[in-house]
């Protein structure tokens, strides 16, 4: 195997700083309009489609290839009728999938990020709203229909009356929903949705229960403290933690026992897990939507890239999460690379310490070191942010790390096919963000921050195993323009707890990933201020004003304009370092696997495993 040459170009420099580094997740389609939701026959649709680089410049004989622009139109989607492969009555045995260990290993969705919840919880229990596996739209699932009032403060969902929990825990009803949502606001909750749900429904389980009310066994009503046009999206858990648990089990056994053997309503039944080793599920033969085509499914947790590939090549697993640089090796072994139906993953570097001036409050009472906003932070200077963007060779990263499959990414959080995108960003991207290390060095000199110390965090998330090589590439690029770069290898869970959640990202840069989802969802995580945000990467207080307008308006035109105005701020201020849009990809053994289709807009490497079929013999 020939590894990308950047790995070797960077290796010597990296050894001087940290030695050999290794490190070990937070993403969906546009939401339904806040009006009467269609039945399954009237599904809403949503548009969209979507190496470590060398230190030396491209030669004349090998001119760089520009990253293709994303096409902002939808591709035709198959219908949701079963395919020929799915008409089979033959069941496979155990489906074994080699994956990167999740950031948090859990069965309680409230105890980790969306990625962790969607990876481990979604197989055994469902959210209220299902996601179509072909076009990524929100469609009926446990909820058969839903509607919002005129100002988006009250959402009502009608639920199925023919669903039972696994085991002997009885029928699923609307009364299970407030309990399940209540877990997200528990004192020990660290869910992606914890802050959101506390703001919408209450700071604790008791207050939340007064705002999420079962009107009868099959009707649940969400009474929001502030207007919101995305409640159906939150109920679909594409980027969130609202999965259904059994009220009866919780009341009978308590929270600890519920986590040991949770009863869900999903296509798979949770059986057991061994931390850092595996998670085992069995087939639910009576699922209302689709019973799996395998008797069992096992996630085999393997941190080492080459080990996952080796297990695929030797037939120990049938599916594996393999970095793109190893795809040619995999294909040479007779394996097949599949990709998601939608553009799945947006990849970028997040510039730390870009807090707005209104976040200086803690300085007055807690001392300078406890501020979010710190006036001497180099990253607050737009010239420094532009310099970082100009120093990164996106085309080389796309070619060498991603095999050229990436598509242009202009503003973190925005896809051309979704509301709020401004075509101006595509037209002006090369002029404003194009690779130009000489200009980058000049901007850094003009800013007065040359040789400032930057901590480059080397970390990794499922779906983009190339994040660490990206960081290694950035080490070379940024060092060359005059930044004093230090590196820190860190697990994502530690980065979350140590840096971005408490507002301590000053002087840092880190690669990240997100998914294809409404822009306002991404903005909530990255561009809100104070306790409402996670990264809080916006120096302009107007970001919060525009965000509130976008999320609280039920008028599509008002919402889209607010999102566009907010995106204009981000684009012109170089808020982040967008790199590429990627499809989600997975490697399968075609001798064992027949069909695998998943949308890619749910924040996990892959989903819809109940539809995976054995290969026909």
pLDDT at 63 over 70: no
User: Per-residue pLDDT averaged across 340-369, rounded?
Assistant: 80
- Tell me what percent of the residues of the chain surpass a pLDDT of 90: 65
- Tell me what percent of the residues of the chain surpass a pLDDT of 70: 84
User: Per-residue pLDDT averaged across 280-297, rounded?
Assistant: 96
Q: Given this model, what pLDDT does residue 41 score?
A: 32
The segment with the largest mean pLDDT, out of 14-28, 45-59, 357-371, 494-508, is 494-508
Edge-first strand order for the sheet with 143-148 is 143-148, 154-159, 219-223, 212-216
Q: Given this model, what pLDDT does residue 83 score?
A: 67
Q: Given this model, what pLDDT does residue 103 score?
A: 85
pLDDT at 610 over 90: yes
Q: Given this model, what pLDDT does residue 527 score?
A: 83
Task: Using the structure block, give the residue that is written with the tokens 């990414």.
Answer: 409
Query: What secondary structure, in 3-state letters, does 48-94 show?
Result: CCCCCCCCCCCCCCCCCCCCCCCCCCCCCCCCCCCCCHHHCCCCEEE
Q: Given this model, what pLDDT does residue 371 score?
A: 74
Encode pLDDT of 176-197 as tens digits.
999 999 999 999 999 989 988 9
Task: Using the structure block, give the residue that is written with the tokens 């590939």.
Answer: 309
Phi, psi at 310, each rounded to 5°: -60, -40
Residue of 25, 104, 48 whose CA lies nearest to 463: 25
Average pLDDT in the chain:
85
Helices 423-433 and 556-572, packing angle to 10 deg: 0
Give, in degrees to the nearest 5, the angle at Cα 204 between 199 and 210.
80
**DSSP letter for each residue of 417-447:** TSTT--HHHHHHHHHHH---HHHHHHHHHHH
Q: What is the pTM assigned to this prediction? A: 0.73
Q: Given this model, what pLDDT does residue 361 score?
A: 63
Cβ neighbours of residue 243 closer than 8 Å, sequence gap 6 or more? 109, 117, 121, 122, 125, 126, 127, 180, 237, 264
Average the pLDDT over each of 44-58, 86-100, 412-426, 483-497 and give the range with the smallest value: 44-58
pLDDT tier, 14 (very low <50, low <70, confident <90, very high otherwise): very low
pLDDT at 435 over 60: yes
Q: Given this model, what pLDDT does residue 158 score?
A: 98
pLDDT at 278 over 50: yes
Encode pLDDT of 554-576 as tens digits.
888 999 999 999 999 999 999 99
Query: What secondary structure, in 3-state letters, does 478-541 show?
Result: HHHCCCEEEEEECCHHHHHHHHHCCCCCCCEEEEEEEECCCHHHHHHHHCCCHHHCCCCCCCCC
CA distances, 261 to each of 240, 265, 295, 538, 608 (Å): 22, 13, 19, 42, 22
Strand, helix or coil at 213? strand
Encode pLDDT of 291-307 as tens digits.
999 999 999 999 998 99
Encode pLDDT of 206-236 as tens digits.
999 999 999 999 999 999 999 988 899 999 9
Q: Which DSSP state fits 30?
A: P
Encode pLDDT of 396-413 as tens digits.
999 999 989 999 999 999
pLDDT tier, 37 (very low <50, low <70, confident <90, very high otherwise): very low
Task: Answer with the residue of higher pLDDT: 279 or 8.
Answer: 279
CA count, 13 A, side-chain hemisphere, 100: 26
Average the pLDDT over each of 23-27, 314-318, 579-583 and give the range with the smallest value: 23-27
User: Per-residue pLDDT averaged across 435-459, rounded?
Assistant: 97
Residue of 379, 371, 353, 501 whose CA lies nearest to 452: 379
pLDDT at 362 over 70: no
Strand, helix or coil at 343? strand
pLDDT tier, 617 (very low <50, low <70, confident <90, very high otherwise): low
Task: Answer with the residue of higher pLDDT: 508 or 419.
Answer: 508
Tell me the domains of the chain and their CATH numbers: 90-335+589-611 (3.40.190.10), 342-582 (3.10.105.10)
Residue of 20, 218, 251, 259 whose CA lies nearest to 128: 218
pLDDT at 55 over 80: no
pLDDT at 260 over 60: yes
Encode pLDDT of 536-548 as tens digits.
888 888 999 999 9
Residue of 584, 566, 583 whose CA lies nearest to 575: 566
pLDDT tier, 82 (very low <50, low <70, confident <90, very high otherwise): low
Task: Label the pairing between strands 508-515 and 336-351.
Answer: antiparallel
pLDDT tier, 465 (very low <50, low <70, confident <90, very high otherwise): confident
Cβ atoms 382, 540 nearer than 8 A: no
Q: Given this model, what pLDDT does residue 603 score?
A: 87
């Amino acid at each position: 195997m020939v590894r990308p040459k950047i790995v070797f170009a960077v290796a010597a420099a990296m050894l001087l700083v940290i030695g050999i580094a290794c490190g070990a997740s937070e993403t969906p389609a546009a939401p339904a309009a806040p009006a009467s939701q269609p039945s399954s026959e009237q599904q809403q649709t949503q548009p969209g489609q979507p190496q470590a680089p060398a230190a030396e410049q491209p030669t004349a004989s090998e001119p760089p290839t520009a990253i293709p622009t994303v096409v902002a139109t939808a591709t035709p989607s198959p219908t949701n009728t079963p395919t020929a492969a799915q008409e089979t009555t033959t069941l496979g045995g155990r489906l074994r999938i080699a994956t990167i260990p999740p950031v948090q290993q859990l069965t309680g969705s409230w105890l980790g990020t969306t990625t962790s919840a969607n990876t481990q919880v979604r197989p055994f229990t469902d959210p209220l709203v299902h996601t179509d596996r072909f076009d990524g739209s929100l469609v009926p699932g446990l909820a058969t229909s839903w509607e919002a009032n005129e100002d988006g403060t009250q959402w009502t969902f009608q639920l199925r009356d023919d669903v039972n929990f696994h085991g002997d825990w009885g029928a699923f009803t609307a009364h299970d929903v407030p309990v399940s949502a209540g877990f997200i606001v528990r004192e020990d909750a660290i869910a992606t949705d914890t802050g959101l749900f506390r703001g919408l429904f209450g700071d604790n389980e008791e207050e939340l229960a007064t705002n999420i009310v079962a009107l009868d066994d099959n009707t649940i009503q969400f009474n929001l403290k502030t207007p919101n046009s995305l409640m159906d999206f939150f109920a679909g858990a594409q980027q969130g933690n609202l999965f259904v648990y059994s009220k009866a089990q919780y009341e009978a056994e308590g929270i600890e026992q519920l986590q040991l053997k949770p009863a869900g309503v999903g296509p798979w039944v949770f059986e057991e897990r061994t931390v850092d080793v595996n998670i085992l599920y069995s087939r639910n033969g009576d699922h209302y939507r689709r019973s799996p085509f395998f008797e069992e499914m096992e996630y085999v947790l393997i941190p080492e890239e080459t080990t996952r590939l080796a297990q695929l090549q030797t037939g120990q697993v049938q599916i594996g999460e393999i970095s793109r640089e190893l795809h040619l090796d995999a294909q040479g072994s007779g394996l097949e690379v599949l990709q998601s139906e939608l553009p799945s993953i947006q990849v970028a570097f997040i510039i730390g310490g870009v807090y707005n001036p209104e976040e200086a409050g803690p300085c007055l009472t807690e001392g300078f070191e406890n501020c979010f906003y710190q006036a001497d932070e180099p990253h607050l200077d737009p010239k420094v942010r532009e310099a970082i963007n100009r120093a990164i060779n996106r085309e080389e990263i796309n070619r060498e790390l991603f095999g050229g499959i990436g598509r242009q990414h202009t503003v973190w959080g925005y896809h051309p096919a979704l509301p709020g995108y401004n075509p101006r960003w595509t037209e002006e991207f090369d002029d404003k963000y194009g690779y130009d290390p000489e200009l980058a060095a000049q901007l850094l000199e003009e800013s007065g921050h040359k040789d400032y110390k930057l901590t480059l965090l080397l970390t990794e998330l499922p779906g983009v195993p190339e994040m660490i090589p990206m960081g290694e590439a950035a080490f070379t690029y940024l060092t060359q323009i005059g930044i004093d770069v230090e590196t820190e290898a860190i697990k994502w869970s530690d980065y979350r707890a140590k840096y971005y959640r408490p507002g301590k990202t000053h002087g840092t840069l880190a690669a990240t990933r997100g998914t294809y989802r409404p822009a306002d969802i991404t903005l909530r995580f990255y561009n809100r201020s104070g306790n409402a945000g996670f990264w809080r990467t916006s120096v302009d207080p107007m970001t919060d004003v525009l965000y509130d307008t976008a999320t609280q308006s039920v008028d599509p035109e008002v919402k889209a304009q607010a999102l566009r105005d907010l995106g204009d701020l981000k684009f012109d201020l170089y808020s982040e370092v967008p790199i590429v849009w990627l499809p989600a990809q997975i490697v399968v053994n075609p001798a064992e696997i027949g069909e695998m289709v998943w949308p890619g807009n749910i924040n996990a490497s892959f989903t819809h495993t109940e539809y995976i079929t054995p290969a026909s013999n």
